[in-house]
Amino acid sequence: MADLTSNFLGIKSPNPFWLASAPPTDKQYNVERAFEAGWGGVVWKTLGAEGPPVVNVNGPRYGAIYGADRRLLGLNNIELITDRPLEVNLREIKEVKRKWPDRAMIVSLMVPCEEEAWKAILPLVEETGADAIELNCGCPHGMSERGMGAAVGQAPDLIEMITRWCKQTTRMPVIVKLTPNITDVRAPARAAKAGGADAVSLINTISSITSVNLDTFSPEPSIDGKGSHGGYCGPAVKPIALNMVAEIARDPETAGLPISGIGGVTTWRDAAEFLALGAGNVQVCTAAMTYGFKIVEELKSGLSQYLDEQGMSLDDLVGRATPNVTDWQYLNLNYVTKARIDQYACIKCGRCYAACEDTSHQAISMSADRTFEVIDAECVACNLCVNVCPVDGCITMEELAAGEQDLRTGKPVSKEYANWTTHPNNPATVEAAE
């Protein structure tokens, strides 16, 4: 199996799968269970400054969005940073790192925007033997109303200032965790780099309200009849996270800045996509909270098998797709594809026809016996039909080569099947093969 050993910022771990700063990393018991299950590292749940204790709600803390099969697509949480005493967290971090020296131990921090507050907590964390710190500049609820979290992440000047304070005070690598609740994520990433950050991690959670109870008229989760916006995470946020990772990876001003990718990683494929777009490792939270820590076994085995099949190393995969991300204006407008319907796979449900006829380009015809065919002259290759078809692979988009025609219809076709008589879906071809 391919070697998954990760070296991120000089921090070695047996694999690139870290648990993100969240409830699963709030105490020694959880973290040790994670390491026993095989996770390569953890980002300890965010610690705050010494002083008045953080008080979390004692009612529901999570809201959810489900798919049709009740699969969890998105999770909204209103939990704050750790509410456990600072000295207890520090003692446990030190103990875990002593027992598991081969695993990455990153400590998330969030204190007021005061230089002395940062200078006070950094030596305490350094004494634990932790490998790095992650500056929480992304939490969108609770702490942001106190001038921390996303309130800092939305102000590049504050990011640069805090990062510089930390770099001047500690020997530990500094990772800056960025908020997605911003128009252009490149600005805070550039600020983090200007402040001397060793890496950035993203995305933190998205400010959200997942639902409203239509009996009590309170947002969920509801606390005594009231609700608040929270942080949204899970599979639903992956597209947003991938885009933001790619934007930083391909930005000339931040190119080369190491990235820890976060946001909806549930399968090894998700992780591979983050790595291909420039992330050096990935952090996981919702998947672990949904399926338990042993999900890391599937993540590791799947990624390792993929790398073997591709003949690639982990380092080969990182950034492999970044050069192929471009601005719209540079897309090839001479590239042409058309939809193709596999009549043997088609279940005649008519979804493609309904979607195209009602909302797209009227490029699919329906015969009396419910046979659906693409009208090439009208097809603009939007691939809506591919996306609504319930049968995987039934409808595909095939590239057209200039000048080629279907000998049956006289219309342009894909270069692979210019002659209908040899098309693999021609009934005569199928009968001959049988």
Q: Does some domain include residue 427? A: yes
Regarding whether 406 and 359 lie in a shared domain, the answer is: yes
Could you tell me the CATH number of the domain that includes residue 377? 3.30.70.20
Q: Does some domain include residue 109? A: yes
Regarding whether 72 and 219 lie in a shared domain, the answer is: yes
3-state secondary structure 237-276: HHHHHHHHHHHHHHCCCCCCCCEEEECCCCCHHHHHHHHH
Residue 189: helix, strand or coil by DSSP? helix
pLDDT of residue 149: 66
Regarding whether 361 and 247 lie in a shared domain, the answer is: no
DSSP-assigned letters across all residues of 111-125 = --S-HHHHHHHHHHH
Domain boundary among 324, 349, 375: 324
Least confident of 49-53, 286-290, 360-364: 49-53
Is residue 398 within 8 A of residue 335, CB to CB? The reply is: no
Q: In the predicted model, is pLDDT for residue 404 greater than 60?
A: no
137 catalytic? Reply is: no
Structure tokens at 282: 């990935």
DSSP-assigned letters across all residues of 41-54 = EEEEEEE--SSSPP
Q: In the predicted model, is pLDDT for residue 415 greater than 70?
A: no
Regarding whether 340 and 310 lie in a shared domain, the answer is: no
Regarding whether 316 and 337 lie in a shared domain, the answer is: no
Regarding whether 357 and 309 lie in a shared domain, the answer is: no
Domain boundary among 324, 341, 356: 324
pLDDT in tens, 223-279: 888 888 888 999 999 999 999 999 999 999 998 999 999 999 999 999 999 999 999
pLDDT of residue 422: 52
Nearest-CA neighbor of 207 among 122, 120, 263, 141? 141
Q: Does some domain include residue 1? A: no
Q: Does some domain include residue 114? A: yes
Q: Does some domain include residue 82? A: yes
Q: In the predicted model, is pLDDT for residue 423 greater than 80?
A: no
Regarding whether 369 and 304 lie in a shared domain, the answer is: no
DSSP at 223? B
Q: Does some domain include residue 132? A: yes
pLDDT of residue 402: 62
Q: Does some domain include residue 264? A: yes
Domain boundary among 270, 293, 324: 324
Burial (0-12, 13-18, 19+ Cβ within 10 Å), 215: exposed
> What value does the mean pLDDT of the chain take?
90
Catalytic pick from 137, 139, 166, 379? Answer: 139
For 297-333, letters b (16+ CB in 10 Å) and e give: eebbebbbebbeeeeeebeebbbebbeeeeeeeeeee
**Confidence class for position 145, pLDDT limits 50, 70, 90:** low
Domain holding 222, by residue range, is: 6-324
pLDDT in tens, 264-284: 999 999 999 999 999 999 999
Regarding whether 171 and 316 lie in a shared domain, the answer is: yes
pLDDT in tens, 312-344: 999 999 999 999 999 999 998 888 899 999 999
Q: How many domains does the chain have?
A: 2
Q: Does some domain include residue 65? A: yes
Neighbour tally for 138: CB within 10 Å: 32
Regarding whether 354 and 239 lie in a shared domain, the answer is: no
Regarding whether 262 and 126 lie in a shared domain, the answer is: yes
Q: What is the mean pLDDT of residues 8-33?
A: 97
**Confidence class for position 70, pLDDT limits 50, 70, 90:** very high
pLDDT of residue 419: 44
Structure tokens at 152: 């800092």
Regarding whether 98 and 238 lie in a shared domain, the answer is: yes
pLDDT in tens, 164-196: 999 999 999 999 999 999 999 999 999 999 999
Could you tell me the CATH number of the domain that includes residue 272? 3.20.20.70
Regarding whether 347 and 254 lie in a shared domain, the answer is: no
Enter the pTM of the model: 0.89
Instruction: Tell which phi-psi region holds residue 281, choosing left (phi > 0), alpha (psi between -120 and 50) or beta.
Output: beta
